[in-house]
Amino acid sequence: MGKTTLVSHWLRGLTAHYPDGQLYADLGAHAPGGPVRPGEVLGAFLRALGAAQVPAETAEQAALWRTLTAGLRIAVMLDNAVSAAQVRTLLPGAAGSLVVAAGRSRLTGLGVDGAVFHELGTLDPGAAVELLGRRVGGERVAREPAAARELVALCAGLPLAVCVAAARMAARPRQTVAALAGAMTQETGRLEVLQLGGERAVRSALDESYRCLPPATARAYRLLSLPPLTVLTGPLVAAACAVPPSEADRLLDDLAEAHLLEDLGPDDVTRAARFRFHDLVRLHAAQCAQREETAAVRDRTVRRALEWYLATATAARALLSPTHRRLRRDYVFPARPPAFADAGAALRWFDTGRGELMAAVRTAADRGWHSVTWQLVDSLQPLFLRLRPYDLWIEAHRLGLEAARRAGHPQGVSRMLTTGGNGLYNAGQLDEAVVWFTDALQDAKAREDRRAEAQALHGLAQSHRLAGRLPLAESLFAQALALREAIGHDRGAALSRLCLGDIALATDRPRQARSLLTRARTDLLAVPDPYDAARALAFLGRTHAHEAIGDHPTAERLLAQALEEFRATGSLHWQARVLEMLGQTAEDRGDAATARDRYGASLDRYATLSPSDARRLKERIRNLAPPPATP
């Protein structure tokens, strides 16, 4: 019916009424992988509003979404909605905001939320003929007015069907309008087409366009409907269809010219052109694939697409985490990933493509491709560690752990347990994190893998540290340190020293903390690991501010340097934390005004990152001495 185009055009005219922005989400009512989960949409919306860390649970995400939007005037478009409940979770917290939900069903349940319903009808014959003329040329339509009216009647007034038919005519400038109308009724007859209504009209237009495609383009049309991915690019198409990159670009252009793909514009990172199917067009293409391709060909196409994502994510991971131990990759169809300009470009690719990457993980798991599943999850570590989408982090690792176990890959099981445990304790699910790290520890001991054993001990210690069990955490960190020193794992040893320094500082042993943190900082700079080296520097700054040392100028200098280093690495969480440390240091020396300013700057960052930390900062600010009264 043209719902998306109509609403998008309307909202563009309302920009001034909603100055805080407009957000769009496709809820995937008819997507091949099923409707989009509310948490995925909330995560994208929260990040669009500046939230660098998204809570793991949907209820927490919804609460943060309502909090962040409470004072805003925004417009939200929710396309392809499947139910009122799906929409209701995504309603913002501001009474002055606008939400438009578009779907093929009426969504009557939203009436209790104050929704107003608008039914979008088909184009009237005059408007449909005008749309046809705009696409193929008014003179061409004017020469055959009766045939034009017959053609748009066959399209049942649906803009999609008219545009597909027009694209077919535009590709054949000598074809008459009457010839196309006759082709569309050749098999079924005009009366039957009209009786079957909208979907049959679209199918009839698509059948005729498909019939006229060159064989290679028709094959690409069929195959590209199979992977459960919404965005298509040249490199992905080259891998999925097993064609050279130049041929993939030509196929995409041909399909877009035929109005069988929508052009989304270039990718922000790789600059590759991006395309997507309309859901009805994808359905038609998938039916063609089911009818004309063997099951083996269909499986190979999906596998090639997923392995391209695996190869590309693995290349991005190598740029972002060069010091991390790399595990094997098992390719059936080795793919050539695109080249990233630098680590920043690789991280942006992870960020913008997280929906496609998670769809790839879920598809691999559903199909029982166990190696692809856990290796994809392993390749996504920079996404999880740098951008902190806790919901995706935990979901992916639950799928990856099961897959690694079924694949019978011990190192994969160990990696899933430890990196998944990291996600659990970062999301505050500490008891489950302890279970995962305990399993990892037992597994490593059974395999006599000392490096994995040290990693499990470190993760177990961090889980207990966050739970406030400091003596137990310190003992486990010390065991991890001893193992890492024994096997020559310098970076791991430095991280264990950093955590031991943190505990020493928390238990009023500042001189011991200073010694541990100074060594950790030096060793991490030597690796190099600038992110963790900045963490060591931040704790070192707070150590100098401890009353037993009392060197506030040095503390201020080290913390200011750490803040700059975290700005360089892009870590908002640690920027907030260091600003809080600077506030504590100012408060320690009795400067309440400076402390209030720094706590306020920290709160500005925590507000989009962590509601619990934001509440704690507000309490700190309330407990400060009141500012002096102005005369």
Q: Is 25 helix (H, G, I), strand (E, B) or coil?
A: strand
pLDDT of residue 200: 64
pLDDT of residue 15: 85
187 pLDDT above the threshold of 80: no
Q: Give the neighbor-by-neighbor strand order of the sheet with 232-233.
A: 232-233, 273-276, 262-266
Give the mean pLDDT of the chain: 86
Residues 82-108 pLDDT 10s:
888 888 888 888 778 899 988 877 778
**Distant-in-sequence, close-in-space partners of 554: CB < 8 Å, separation ≥ 6:** 541, 544
Nearest to 579 by CA among 551, 556, 610, 547: 556
The tokens for 301 are 């196409």
Beta strands 273-276 and 232-233 are antiparallel
Mean pLDDT, residues 221-234 taken together: 91
Residues 236-254 pLDDT 10s:
999 999 999 999 999 999 9
Q: Residue 127: is it exposed, middle or buried by C-beta count within 10 angstroms (0-12/13-18/19+)?
A: middle
The amino acid at 551: D
Angle at 537 between CA 519 and CA 320, to 5 degrees: 95
pLDDT of residue 458: 96
Mean pLDDT, residues 251-273 taken together: 83
Q: Is 550 helix (H, G, I), strand (E, B) or coil?
A: coil
Distances (CA, A) of 109 to 86, 88, 347: 11, 9, 40
Pairwise CA distance, residues 574 & 606, whole Å: 10
Write down the pTM of the prediction.
Answer: 0.76
Name the strand (E) or helix (H) holding 76.
strand 75-79
Pairwise CA distance, residues 330 & 20, whole Å: 47
Q: Is the dihedral of CA 175, 178, 180, 183 positive or negative?
A: negative
Q: Is 276 helix (H, G, I), strand (E, B) or coil?
A: strand
The amino acid at 488: G
pLDDT of residue 156: 66
Query: Crossing angle, helix 159-170 and helix 279-292, to 10 degrees?
Result: 60
168 pLDDT above the threshold of 80: no
Mean pLDDT, residues 500-506 taken together: 95
Least confident of 275-279, 289-293, 529-533, 590-594: 275-279
pLDDT of residue 191: 32
The tokens for 153 are 């009647």
Pairwise CA distance, residues 209 & 201, whole Å: 13
Q: What DSSP string describes 83-122?
A: -HHHHHTT--S-TT-EEEE--SS--GGGGGGT-------P
Distances (CA, A) of 321 to 128, 154, 344, 397, 427: 55, 57, 12, 18, 22
The tokens for 334 are 């080795």
pLDDT of residue 190: 37
Distances (CA, A) of 529 to 322, 520, 532, 533: 9, 11, 6, 6
Mean pLDDT, residues 370-378 taken together: 97
> Higher model confidence: residue 105 or residue 474?
474
The amino acid at 242: A
Decide: 338 and 314 in contact? Cβ < 8 Å.
Answer: no
**Portion of the chain with pLDDT greater than 70, in percent:** 93
pLDDT of residue 33: 65
